[in-house]
Amino acid sequence: SMMRDISGVSDLERALGKFMQTKDCIVVPGNTDESSWVKYELGRACLNHMKDHLKDQNTIAVTGGTTIAAVAEALTTDFSNKELLFVPARGGIGTDVKNQANTICEVMAEKTNSNHMVLYVPDQVSENIYEFFKNEPYVFEVLSEIRSANIVIHGIGEALTMAKRRKTSEEDMKKIVEGKAVAEAFGYYFNENGEVVHKVQTIGLQLEDLDKIDTIYAVAGGESKAKAIKAYMKIAPKNTILVTDEAVSKLILKG
Ligand code: G3H
């Protein structure tokens, strides 16, 4: 089989990159589902790559979740020689405070002696309220920064895990289940073909905005995310760099 020939991580990276038809894949040893330190390794691998792609001035939009929180933990002061501004990619899709994009941005800024912005916009509010928020000067400023970001770092979640983690209404849960969602990324739920079956309405980065962004990191590992990663990568912009682990890479390539 194909697997017999894949021994080292670099072979896996090559095979996975070809399979996903994406710019680059970075694979770290281990299984995120089994050992929590692998998340930290995903973070280190992402940052290691990012270091070489920084400009003098950078706006980095980040999402929430435990994986991106681990990326923040892995940041060090050797990033402080470049100008960095961390902005939450989307407002309001919060889980616990520690893993919210706003908090992660704050940690990232602290670790690198740089700046960050916050975006506090509640979920599930009416269209009118959204319009109101969008035009509020500070929110408007954050949204412009998000759209002009040169780097995005986001997680990929397993759909039902994410839907349960968030306070998803019964009605939306029905859409997610009936739509056979398997993946979630920045508030969008995707089925196996990468089609959007549900979208959490929050302001901030939208799927179509990704096309204009130079460097995008999708950071997700663990065998439990095999379907999610596969589905999301079907529609991910081709300049997405997937940062993942060995265990799920092997499972995906096994088909
Ligand atoms: O959008 C995806 C989620 O942020 C992934 O969350 O990193 O805690 O699995 P996680």
Summarised one tens digit per residue, pLDDT across range 178-196 is 999 999 999 999 999 999 9
Complex-level ipTM: 0.97
Ligand 1 atom nearest residue 222's Cα = 9
| The predicted structure's pLDDT at residue 92 | 72
Distances (CA, A) of 130 to 101, 138, 168, 207: 19, 14, 19, 18
Cα(42) to centroid of ligand 1, in Å?
A: 13
Pocket of ligand 1 contains residue 100 by CB under 6 Å: no
Cα(1) to centroid of ligand 1, in Å?
A: 32
| The predicted structure's pLDDT at residue 122 | 72
Query: To test ligand 1's pocket by mutation, which of 39, 40, 46, 68 has the most ligand atoms within 8 angstroms of CB?
Result: 68
Pocket of ligand 1 contains residue 88 by CB under 6 Å: no
Tokens of 211: 């096309």
Gap between the Cα atoms of 4 and 13, Å rounded: 15
| The predicted structure's pLDDT at residue 110 | 96
Burial class of 238 by CB neighbour count within 10 A (0 to 12, 13 to 18, 19+): exposed
| The predicted structure's pLDDT at residue 7 | 53
Task: For the chain, list residues with pLDDT below 50.
Answer: 1-6
Q: Could you tell me the pTM of the whole model?
A: 0.94
Gap between the Cα atoms of 94 and 122, Å rounded: 9
Cα(76) to centroid of ligand 1, in Å?
A: 22
